[in-house]
Every structure is written in C-alpha cells, then in structure tokens.
C-alpha cells in the first residue's frame, strides 16, 4: 500500500513525465550511437546520401539545434509562469493544479527534455574523425522538428487554457469524471442502509481508537483494501472524517471494534488513507466544485466585476449538481465478500453539496440580481431532471437564496424577472410560493 501511495505522488508530480522522456532519450541516443558505429559503416553505400552527414557539419548543426531547443524551452517556461500568475490573480489558486497536471503541459516539457538530452549527448559522443558518415544528425533534425511541433501545440494549449470559458469547461468535465468514478458500480459490497441491530451487536466488541500520524487533507481512502484489511482482522472500522477534510495530527480518525490487542497492528489501517498537504480531486467532489465557486466569487468581486463569468460558473455548477443528483447515493456502509460490515464512513449529504456550491455566491452576490437569477435558474434545472427527494433539498435551498434578495429595493423590471425565476423553481419542485414585494 505504501508503494501505491508513492506511485500516486510520483504520477501526479510535475517532473514525472519529463523524467520518463529523459530516460527514453538516453536509450535512443545509445541505440543511434550503436547504429552509427556498427551498422552504418557496413551499409553506407546503400543508404541515401541525404540521410548521412560528416562529423564537422554535424557539430555545427548540433550547436544551432541546442540553442534552438533551449530557446523554445525558455519561452515555454515563461509562458507557464504567465499562465500561473493569471490563474492566481484572476481565477483561483486551486486551479493551478489543473494546468500543472495537464498532460499536454507535461508531455511538451518532456519532449523538450528528450530533444535537449538527445542533441547534447550526441554531440558529446561524436568522435574526432571528421569524414565519418553519421545518421544521427539527420535523426536529430527530425527530433528538433518534432520539438517545434510540440512548441506550437503548447502555445495553442496555453492560450486556450488561459481563457476563462475553456478553464471552466475543463473543470466541469474533470468533475464529471470524478462523480462517475465515485458512484460507479464497485467490486465490493456497499449500501446506504444496514441492520441497526447487527451494528449494535458488532459494536459490543472491544473499542479502540486509531489516531492520525500526521496533519493534512484526507485526499483518498482505498476502500477495497481497507475493507479487506478489516475482514482479515475481523474488525469493524468507523471513520471520523470526510474526504477533503483537514486532519490534525493526533486526532482520532477511526474507531475500531475488534479483538486486536497490539496497537501497532491496529495502526496498519493508516496505509489505506492518503493524507497530503493540499486537497485533490481524486475522490473529492466538493473540492472540484469549489474551484468553480471560487472563480465565480472572484468574478463578482468589485475588483473584477464580471457577472457573466459568474453566471457561466453557476450554470456549470448547476449542471454538475444535476448530474450528481441522478447518481447520488448516501453510501455509508461497506462490507466484505460475505457481506459482513467492515467500514462505516459518513458521506456528504446532497443538501450539503448544494450548500457548499452556492452559499458563498449567495453571500457575495446577493446584491447582483443577475447572479441570484442565475442561481435560481440553475436550481430549477437541477430539480427538473431529478426525483422528489432531490427536489425537496433543492427547494429548501431555493428558499435560502430567495431570502437573500432585498425584494423591496428591486426595480419593477428586476422584480418581474426575479419573480419569474422563483415561480419556475417552485413549479419544478411541486411547491407554491406566493412572492410579495
């Protein structure tokens, strides 16, 4: 399990793909050098002359190509810094993860690393015989052209990524994937309900507490492995945290009912909880939505004053909540292959998801009727495509939004539009709300 944690950190780190490309580059240089020294001399007469180049010309070419690749790499890093500065000041610091973890960004820098190492090692390994025919310079030119192509791709990628509409769309798609992954069918037993009498009987065993070893955010729980561990130990675990919550070192994170006497053996369940310095979207739906919330809140601030971007974010948040509502299950019980209860972990309720999605927008956007109408419109669409239980949560929160608007201070036209959206929401939730100014 420790290996799996390390793999997650390495895979998501910024240097992982460039390091892989660098290793591949060294292997390619080795292969090309072997071809130059052992194969080309034997087949030189049958190889087209355009593919071969003597050593002196190759040295001049390599010097130019190294400078060119370094220049493209420098411009790319400068572009990255511009994008990161823009994200931090105009959007949200949380959105930095999306650009830095973008596979396009990492692949481009990986290709640049490949090209630079390929050229400089070829130059280093070049022999002193000036008239020797080599194929490596031609392959280096091909590598340089590929680097140029990736440089163009990166500039296009960066220019699109910095556009707020594309950023919002990207976050929306990635959040949708997290929702589908969270509520897809699992290969272990999970349920929203359990026999309370059996739970009571199970909790008659000796209770012990597992304390956090370090502080940080709960990024992910390896549920199948944790259930398997509890099954082997014949234990029942109850988590005292939510995914995405901050865990303080020394706080109780699990309550355990078992016959385990050795505290060190009990601490083995730490292996299945991933704790890090920042929240991630591995299993954290709320954090993914929070990125859109922060962009919306910043957009309606007096410094930016961009309500259309805020409404765009609200529309995407509403779309995600509608999608979440169609698959949401308050799963809190997890069992082993024999359907024996092994883990209890309280989920966020759908009502909490709605609240966390819009309460800050309500606070900072209550004076902007376009933003409030946007929230009501989003809630209307959520209620329209979901069942009665979701409609009740939506309507309860809708009243919370309605109360935030100073109806007495609205102009007649603003009031008319507001009343229209309130009526639509009430109708979709099968409720009635006589709105009086």
Instruction: Say how far apart CA 377 and CA 318 lie, in whole Å.
Output: 9
Cα distance from N-terminal residue to C-terminal residue, the chain: 60
Query: 293 vs 74, which has greater pLDDT?
Result: 293
pLDDT of residue 1: 45
Nearest residue to 37 (alpha-carbon basis) of 134, 123, 128, 119? 134
| CATH topology assigned to domain 186-348 | Aldehyde Oxidoreductase; domain 3 (3.90.1170)
Average pLDDT score over residue span 20-45: 84
The ranges assigned to domains in the chain are: 2-162, 186-348, 350-437
pLDDT of residue 91: 67
Residue 63, pLDDT > 60, answer yes
Taken as a whole, the chain contains a residue count of 437
Tokens matching residue 102: 């973008």
Average pLDDT score over residue span 241-252: 92
pTM above 0.85, yes or no: no
Contacts of 419 (CB under 8 A, 6+ apart): 435
Residue 260, pLDDT > 90, answer no
Are the beta carbons of 280 and 175 closer than 8 angstroms?
Answer: no
Q: What percent of the chain has pLDDT over 90?
A: 30
């Amino acid at each position: 399990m420790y290996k799996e944690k390390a793999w997650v950190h390495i895979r998501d780190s910024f240097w992982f793909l460039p390091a892989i490309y660098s290793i591949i580059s060294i292997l390619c240089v080795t292969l090309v050098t072997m071809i130059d020294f052992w194969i080309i001399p034997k087949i030189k007469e049958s190889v087209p002359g355009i593919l071969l180049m003597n050593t002196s010309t190759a040295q001049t070419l390599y010097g130019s190509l190294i400078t060119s690749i370094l220049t493209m790499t420098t411009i790319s890093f400068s572009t990255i810094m511009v994008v990161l500065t823009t994200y931090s000041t105009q959007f949200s610091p949380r959105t930095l993860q999306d650009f830095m973890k973008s596979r396009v960004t990492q692949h481009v820098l990986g290709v640049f690393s490949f090209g630079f190492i390929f050229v400089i090692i070829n130059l280093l390994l070049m022999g002193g015989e000036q008239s020797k025919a080599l194929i490596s310079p031609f392959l280096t030119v091909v590598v340089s052209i590929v680097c140029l192509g990736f440089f163009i791709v990166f500039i296009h990628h960066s220019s699109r990524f910095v556009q707020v509409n594309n950023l919002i769309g990207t976050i929306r798609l990635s959040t949708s994937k997290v929702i589908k992954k969270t509520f897809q069918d699992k290969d272990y037993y999970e349920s929203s309900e359990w026999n309370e009498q059996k739970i009571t009987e199970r909790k008659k065993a000796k209770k012990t507490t597992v304390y956090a070893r370090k502080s940080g955010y709960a990024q992910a729980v390896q549920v199948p492995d944790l259930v398997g561990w509890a099954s082997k130990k014949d234990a029942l675990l109850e988590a005292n945290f939510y995914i995405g919550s901050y865990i303080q070192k020394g706080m109780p994170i699990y309550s355990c009912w078992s016959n385990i006497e050795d505290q060190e053996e009990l601490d083995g369940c730490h292996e299945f909880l991933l704790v890090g310095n920042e929240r991630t979207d591995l299993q954290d739906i709320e954090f993914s939505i929070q990125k859109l919330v922060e962009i919306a809140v910043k957009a309606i601030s007096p410094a930016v004053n961009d309500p259309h971007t805020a409404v765009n974010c609200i529309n995407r948040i509403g779309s995600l909540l509608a999608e979440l509502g169609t698959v949401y299950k308050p799963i809190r019980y997890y069992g082993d292959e024999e359907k024996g209860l092994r883990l209890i972990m309280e989920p966020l309720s759908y009502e909490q998801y709605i609240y966390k999605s819009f309460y800050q927008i309500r606070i900072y956007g209550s004076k902007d009727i376009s933003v409030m109408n946007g929230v009501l419109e989003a809630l209307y669409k959520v209620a329209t495509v979901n069942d009665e239980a979701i409609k009740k949560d939506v309507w309860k929160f809708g009243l919370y939004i309605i109360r935030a608007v100073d109806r007495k201070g609205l102009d007649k036209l603003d009031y008319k539009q507001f009343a229209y959206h309130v009526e639509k929401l009430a109708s979709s939730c099968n409720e009635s709300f006589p709105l009086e100014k």
